[in-house]
Amino acid sequence: MRVVLINPRFRLPIDTRTTPHLGLAYLAAMSEQRGDEVRIYDADVEDQPLDEFMREFKPHVVGITANTPQVKQAWRHAEKIKAAWDVPIVLGGPHPSVESEELDFESARQPAVDLVVRGEGEETWMEICNRIEDFMRDQEDTSTAALMGANRGIWDNVLGISYKTADGALHRNLGRAAVDDLDSLPWPAYHLFRMDKYTNLQPATDNVDGSKSFSILTSRGCPYRCIFCSQSIMPIKWRSRTPENVLAEWKHLVEDLDAQEIGVLDDSANIRKKRLHTLADMLIENNLNHVPWIFVNGIRANLADYELMKKLKQAGLRRTAFGVETGNSQILRDIDKNIDLDTIRNAFKACKEVGLETIAFMIIGLPGETRETMQDTIDFAIELDPLIANFSMMTPYPGTKVWAQVKRQGRMLIHDWEDYVFFEQKARYEMGEMTAELVEEMYRKAYRQFYLRPGPIWRRVKSGDFWMNLPRNIRIAMRTFVPKAEKTGLRKKIEAEAIS
C-alpha cells in the first residue's frame, strides 16, 4: 500500500527547535516492515503543497499526528486532503488520546477524520493498515465511505481506536496495552525525513549541523504522575529497551548516519540505574563516547547520584535536564513530584562535580502559587545555576489534574487549542490570588533575574557556539527581554500561513 504520515505545520515563527517527529518515524518504520511504500510529509519543512503531493502520490491511507496546539491544524490538513483525494484519514498522538475529556470523539467528529488511534500507535496502526488492505482486496467499491460502512464491522474489534461510521455514529473500542517488548520495534525510519531541513537539539545553545543531530528513545512511560504533566500517551508502566538493543541503534546513528549529537528523548531514562550503567559501559567499550549526547527532557533527580553521573559523563553525556519545576517545598509536594529540594540540589552538585552541563525546567504559575513562591522558584534556579534555565508558563493540558482543578476552582484564560503552547508570555489561567498580571510579571522577572547576571552572560559570551549563533541569539534575547510586540501576533501568523 502507499502510506503517508503527516506532521501538521506548527513551527512557530521563533527560534524553536524543529526535529524529525520520532512517533511518525516509528510508525513509518513499522509500515516499511509491512512492505508499504511510505512517505513522510512534515509540513514544517515541506515545500510542495499538500494537495498537490496527495494527488501525485495517491496514498491508500493517511496518518496525521497531533499534540494539543497542533490538533486544529491537523483537522485543516485532513480537510484539504479529503478535498484532493478520497482516502481514509487516521489521527493519533497526545491530544486525541485524552479519553477522559472525549478528545478522541472531538477529532472523530471532524468531517474529514475517519479513525482516531489512542495511545502508543505501532500495533494499532499495523492492524488498521492490514484491515484496509484486506478490504481493498475484496471490494469493488473501495471508497472511504464503503470502508467506514456502518454494517461492515471492519473496525469492531480493533483495540485502541475510536472512529466514525459512514452514518455519522461515533464508536470507541477498548484500549490497547502499550507495547510490551520495546526491543521488538524497528528503529525510527530517519531515511524518510529531509534531515537537512531540521535544526539541532538545542539551537539556542549549540552550533551543531541539524542534519547530523538524531534522537533516540531508550524507554517509554513514566511511573510518576506529576499533576501538570500530560500523560495520555505515557502509560504509568515504565518499559525499557535492553542496553544491547539501544547500543545497536546508537552504533547505527554514529557509524552509518554520522551523528554529531544524540538526544535521548525518554521521559525518565534513569528509572533503573543499573541499566544506564550497563549502557554507559557499552558505549565506552565500543568507542561511541566521542559523540556528545544529551538527556533532553530530563531525568529524575532522585536517581541521579554521583557514581551514575560520572559514568554517564565518561560515556559521552554532555548535558542533562532535570524537571525541577519549583523552588518552594510546599508547592513541590502539592504537584506530586515525589522529590525534595535537597535531593535536587544534590543531583545538580553531582553533575557539576563530574563536569556535566545542566538544564533546569522550571514552571511559573503552578496551582496555589503566590508572588513569594514564584520568587522562590527564581531564587532556586539561581542557586542551582544550570547552563540553561527554562521557565515555562504553567499551561493546564486537558486530562491533567491541574486542568480539572482549574475547571473546578479557577478561570481558564485560553479557549483555543492553538493557544496551548508555553513559550508565549501570556498567563493561561487564574486561580485564587494568582492573577494573570502577577504570573506574567514573575515570568518576565524570572528570565531577567536568571540570565542578566554576570555568570550566565559570561558563560554565553565565552562559548564559541554563542558567536556562531549570534543572529539567532540576538533574536532570542530581544524576544525574551523586550517582550510582547512580536509575540502576541504569533498565532495569527500561523493561521495566516495556514496550510500551504
Residues that bind ligand B12 (CB under 6 A): 10, 17, 19, 21-23, 26-27, 63-65, 67-70, 90, 92-95, 117, 120-122, 125, 217, 229-230, 233-234, 265, 267, 297, 397, 421-423
Contact 336, 376 (CB under 8 A): no
Q: Which grid coordinates are listed for 271?
A: 528509572
Name the residue nearer to ligand SF4 (CB basis): 278 or 297.
Answer: 297
Whole-number minimum distance, CB 287 to ligand B12, in Å? 27
Give the one entry of ligand SF4, ligand B12, none that residue 268 binds, where binding means its C-beta sits below a cut-off of 5 to 8 angstroms depending on kind: ligand SF4
Distance CA 428, CA 434 (A): 11
Supply the Cα-derived Rg of the chain in whole angstroms: 23
Q: Is 267 in the site for ligand SF4 (CB under 6 A)?
A: yes
Whole-number minimum distance, CB 262 to ligand SF4, in Å? 20
Whole-number minimum distance, CB 323 to ligand SF4, in Å? 5
Give the one entry of ligand B12, ligand SF4, none that residue 125 binds, where binding means its C-beta sits below a cut-off of 5 to 8 angstroms depending on kind: ligand B12
Whole-number minimum distance, CB 363 to ligand SF4, in Å? 10
Site string for ligand SF4, 199-238 (x = CB under 6 A): -----------------------x-xxx--x---------
Give the one entry of ligand B12, ligand SF4, none that residue 406 binds, where binding means its C-beta sits below a cut-off of 5 to 8 angstroms depending on kind: none
Whole-number minimum distance, CB 283 to ligand B12, in Å? 21
- How many residues touch ligand SF4 (CB under 6 A)? 8
Whole-number minimum distance, CB 463 to ligand B12, in Å? 21
Give the one entry of ligand SF4, ligand B12, none that residue 19 binds, where binding means its C-beta sits below a cut-off of 5 to 8 angstroms depending on kind: ligand B12
Whole-number minimum distance, CB 140 to ligand B12, in Å? 27
Whole-number minimum distance, CB 310 to ligand B12, in Å? 26
Question: 321-340: which residues touch ligand SF4 (CB under 6 A)?
Answer: 323
Name the residue nearer to ligand SF4 (CB basis): 125 or 361.
Answer: 361
Strand-pairing partners, residue 445, are none
Whole-number minimum distance, CB 455 to ligand B12, in Å? 26
Give the one entry of ligand SF4, ligand B12, none that residue 323 binds, where binding means its C-beta sits below a cut-off of 5 to 8 angstroms depending on kind: ligand SF4
Whole-number minimum distance, CB 398 to ligand SF4, in Å? 15
Site string for ligand SF4, 305-324 (x = CB under 6 A): ------------------x-
Give the one entry of ligand SF4, ligand B12, none that residue 213 binds, where binding means its C-beta sits below a cut-off of 5 to 8 angstroms depending on kind: none
Contacts of 8 (CB under 8 A, 6+ apart): 43, 64, 65, 66, 70, 73, 74, 76, 77, 499
Nearest to 31 by CA among 159, 92, 122, 118: 122
Name the residue nearer to ligand SF4 (CB basis): 297 or 346.
Answer: 297
144: left (phi over 0), alpha (psi -120 to 50) or beta: alpha
Give the one entry of ligand SF4, ligand B12, none that residue 93 binds, where binding means its C-beta sits below a cut-off of 5 to 8 angstroms depending on kind: ligand B12
Name the residue nearer to ligand SF4 (CB basis): 61 or 321.
Answer: 321
> SS in 3 state form for the chain?
CEEEEEECCCCCCCCCCCCCCHHHHHHHHHHHHHCCEEEEEECCCCCCCHHHHHHHHCCCEEEEECCHHHHHHHHHHHHHHHHHCCCCEEEECCCCCCHHHCHHHHHHCCCCCCEEECCCCHHHHHHHHHHHHHHHHHCCCCCHHHHCCCCCCCCCCCCCEEEECCCCCEEECCCCCCCCCHHHCCCCCHHHCCHHHCCCCCCCCCCCCHHHEEEECCEECCCCCCCCCCCCCCCCCCEECCHHHHHHHHHHHHHHCCCCEEEECCCCCCCCHHHHHHHHHHHHHCCCCCCCEEEEEEECHHHCCHHHHHHHHHCCEEEEEEEEECCCHHHHHHCCCCCCHHHHHHHHHHHHHHCCEEEEEEEECCCCCCHHHHHHHHHHHHHHCCCEEEEEECCCCCCCHHHHHHHHHEEECCCCHHHCCCCCCCCCEEECCECHHHHHHHHHHHHHHHHCCHHHHHHHHHCHHHHHCHHHHHHHHHHHHCCCHHHHCHHHHHHHHCCC
Name the residue nearer to ligand SF4 (CB basis): 249 or 267.
Answer: 267
Name the residue nearer to ligand B12 (CB basis): 379 or 483.
Answer: 483
Give the one entry of ligand B12, ligand SF4, none that residue 226 binds, where binding means its C-beta sits below a cut-off of 5 to 8 angstroms depending on kind: ligand SF4
Residue nearest to ligand B12 (CB): 23
Whole-number minimum distance, CB 224 to ligand SF4, in Å? 4
Give the one entry of ligand SF4, ligand B12, none that residue 26 binds, where binding means its C-beta sits below a cut-off of 5 to 8 angstroms depending on kind: ligand B12
- Name the site residues for ligand SF4 (rule: CB under 6 A): 222, 224-226, 229, 267-268, 323
